[in-house]
Amino acid sequence: MSNNMYQWADYYDLTNRGVPGDVDFYVDLAKQAGGEILELACGTGRITIPVAEAGLRVTGLDMSVDMLRRAEQKAAEKGVLDHIDFIQGDMRQFELEKQFSLIMIPFRSFLHLLHIQEQMKALTAIRKHLAPGGKFALNVFVPKINHLYEESEKMSLRGMYPLENGEQVAMWDFTRYDHFQQLSEVTRTYERLSADGIVTEKAVGRFTLRYIFPTELHHLLRLNGFKVVQRYGSFAKSGFDQNSTELIIVAEKL
Instruction: Encode pLDDT of 124-139 as tens digits.
Output: 999 999 999 999 999 9
Per-residue pLDDT at 94: 98
Residue-wise pLDDT tens digits, 195-223: 999 999 999 999 999 999 999 999 999 99
pLDDT range class, residue 1, cuts 50, 70, 90: very low
pLDDT range class, residue 6, cuts 50, 70, 90: low
Task: Please give the Cα distance from 28 to 250 (Å, whole number).
Answer: 13
User: Which amino acid type is present at position 111?
Assistant: L
Task: Please give the Cα distance from 21 to 18 (Å, whole number).
Answer: 8
The DSSP secondary structure of 164-198, one letter per residue, reads TTS-EEEEEEEEEEETTTTEEEEEEEEEEE-TTS-
- Whether 230 has a pLDDT exceeding 50, the answer reads yes
Per-residue pLDDT at 216: 98
Q: Lowest mean pLDDT: which of 36-45, 143-152, 237-246?
A: 143-152
% of the chain exceeding 70 in pLDDT? 97
Q: Which CATH architecture has domain 9-142+212-253?
A: 3-Layer(aba) Sandwich (3.40)
Residue-wise pLDDT tens digits, 151-187: 889 999 999 999 999 999 999 999 999 999 999 999 9
- Whether 111 has a pLDDT exceeding 70, the answer reads yes
% of the chain exceeding 90 in pLDDT? 91
Mean pLDDT of 30-52: 97
Task: Please give the Cα distance from 213 to 103 (Å, whole number).
Answer: 21
- Whether 190 has a pLDDT exceeding 50, the answer reads yes
pLDDT range class, residue 150, cuts 50, 70, 90: confident
Mean pLDDT of 63-81: 97
Do residues 207 and 178 make contact, with C-beta atoms less than 8 angstroms apart? no
Q: What is the pTM of this model?
A: 0.94
CATH of domain 145-210: 2.20.25
Cα end-to-end span (Å), the chain: 47
Task: Please give the Cα distance from 52 to 49 (Å, whole number).
Answer: 5
Mean pLDDT of 106-119: 98
Per-residue pLDDT at 2: 45
Segments making up each domain of the chain, as ranges: 9-142+212-253, 145-210
- Whether 4 has a pLDDT exceeding 70, the answer reads no
Mean pLDDT of 81-105: 98
Per-residue pLDDT at 55: 97
Reduced to 3 states, what is the DSSP secondary structure of residue 228? strand
